[in-house]
Amino acid sequence: MAERRPLKVLFLCTQNSCRSQMAEGWARHLKAGVLEPYSAGTAPTAVHPLAIKVMAEAGVDISGQRAKHIDELRDIEFDLVVTLCDSARESCPVPPRAKRVIHRSFPDPAKTEGSEEEVLAAFRHVRDLIRDFIAELE
């Protein structure tokens, strides 16, 4: 019986700074050998320091990841593309080499206003929502 190759999955959001980076990190951590994760954005900036911090709290190091524009990955044929925000779903043309696309919107923790603790709580909440989503992804 032939071994199944990992599914190539692209996690896509607008800035590729929080949600898609966390999803890529969780997929590497929880689904090693099952998923081959990538992340990108339609208007990438940089990986948000609080995304790095809250993922590290959960034992996942995303500090080596970088924000990328979707065009950098145009030559890869993905088994699955997951849009993680409404803006990415609306503004991103479906990559022509995607076999399947699903949408799962998560709140943007970077837009949270309030005290440092309130903002951190928002990042932790989204981190945990994404973890649960990735845990069920096949």
Q: Is 18 a catalytic residue?
A: no
pTM assigned to the model: 0.92
First-to-final CA distance of the chain: 20
Burial class (CB in 10 A: 0-12, 13-18, 19+), 77: exposed
Q: What average pLDDT score do residues 63-92 get?
A: 84
Find out whether 80 and 10 touch, Cβ atoms under 8 Å: yes
Residue of 47, 70, 85, 98 with catalytic role = 85
Tokens at residue 40, please? 């990108």
pLDDT of residue 38: 97
Mean pLDDT of the chain: 90
Is domain 7-136 given the CATH code 2.60.40.2240 in the classification? no
Phi and psi for 74 in degrees, rounded to 5?
A: -65, -20
105 φψ region: left (φ > 0), alpha (ψ -120 to 50), beta (else): beta
Which residue is catalytic, options 67, 92, 122, 134? 92
Cβ–Cβ < 8 Å for 47, 64 = no
Domain spans of the chain, in order of start: 7-136
Catalytic residue among 13, 35, 52, 55: 13
User: Is residue 115 over pLDDT 60?
Assistant: yes
40-69 confidence digits (pLDDT tens):
998 899 999 999 999 999 999 999 999 999
C-beta separation of 71 from 44 below 8 A: no
